[in-house]
Amino acid sequence: MLQQQILTAADEKDDLYAKCHQLEFFKPIYDAVKARFPEDYFRSIIRKYDQLQEHNYQNVKRIAQMEEEMALLKREERKQEDILKQKEAKIKSEQDERNKIITVYRSEIAGMESEIVTRRNYEKDYIELTNKILEIFSDWSSKLRVYFSFEKMPEINAKCRDPLEILDIMGRMVKIATPATMQRYLRSIIVSANQLRRKHFPQAVNTKYDPDKIYEMCSNHIMNLEAQIARLKNANGSQMSGLRLESVQSEKEQKAL
């Protein structure tokens, strides 16, 4: 045990020598500072050091608090951003819905405007047709006064309040103004003219109920044939080729008619 204590004491001695050696390194500096500054200066430095240490501690604590507050602010900012995004999405959805409604309304308005234009066109056509009916009726009624001019009994005079009533009266006038003999005569003229059309103008289908037009076409055709005959009588043998051209021209005129 004594040997152990001796070894321990020896280690402590070596350690003490090492510490003394270190202190000897700082001793010239200490002596120089002590000679340069009063003893209270060191105590002031230590106090200031303690104050700075406490101040730094408070700063660190405040920094930690500020970082925590900043983290809270960031979380609140993200929360507000999420709320803002939800509001923007809701506003966008509402705006899209409004745009859909506006589109539907515009389509309905366009359809209504188109319907209004159509109705106006119908109204215009109806007015024109009514005026035409009134014009024809006025002409007929002045020549065929069957339903008018009851001076002693004015209540039986025809009172036409709309085009349908006018057309009804005109239908009655047509029956009175076209007896059966006149109708048979007109039918025979139409049949005769239509036979000429089928023979000489088969392409003129639209004129089969128009004898005046068919007879006019026949007259023009006869005049063309007479002109060709006159030219042929005055032509010689060398003009045969010209005759063919005239025949072609005649066919073109016939088609045009």
Q: Does 13 map to a domain?
A: yes
Alpha-carbon distance of 19 to 39, in angstroms, equals 24
Alpha-carbon Rg for the chain, nearest whole angstrom, is 63
State both tokens at 168. Answer: 């009804």
Q: Does 70 map to a domain?
A: no
Q: Backbone dihedral region of 149: left (phi > 0), alpha (psi from -120 to 50 degrees) or beta?
A: left
- The single-letter DSSP state of residue 177 is H
Instruction: Indicate the Cα dihedral angle 157, 158, 160, 163, nearest 10°.
Output: -160
- Domain coverage including residue 256: 179-257
144 in Cβ contact with 176 (< 8 Å):
yes
pTM of the entire structure?
0.35
Which tens digits make up the pLDDT trace of 157-172?
777 777 888 888 888 7
Q: Does 201 map to a domain?
A: yes
Indicate whether 245 pLDDT > 60. Answer: no
Which tens digits make up the pLDDT trace of 88-105?
999 999 999 989 999 998
**Which residues contact residue 203 at a Cβ distance below 8 angstroms, ignoring those fewer than 6 apart?**
255
Closest residue by Cα to residue 89 from 79, 81, 101: 81
Q: Does 138 map to a domain?
A: no
Greater model confidence, 81 or 23: 81
Among the ranges given (174-178, 207-211, 242-246), the one the predictor scored with the smallest mean pLDDT: 242-246
Among the ranges given (8-22, 34-48, 83-97, 194-208), the one the predictor scored with the smallest mean pLDDT: 34-48
What is the DSSP annotation of 46-72?
A: HHHHHHHHHHHHHHHHHHHHHHHHHHH
Alpha-carbon distance of 81 to 87, in angstroms, equals 10
201 in Cβ contact with 257 (< 8 Å):
yes
Q: Does 55 map to a domain?
A: no
214 in Cβ contact with 193 (< 8 Å):
yes
Q: Does 61 map to a domain?
A: no
> Which pairs count as long-range contacts for 106-110, CB under 8 Å and 24+ apart, including other chains?
none
Query: What pLDDT is recorded for position 189?
Result: 83
Q: Please tell me the total count of domains within the chain.
A: 2
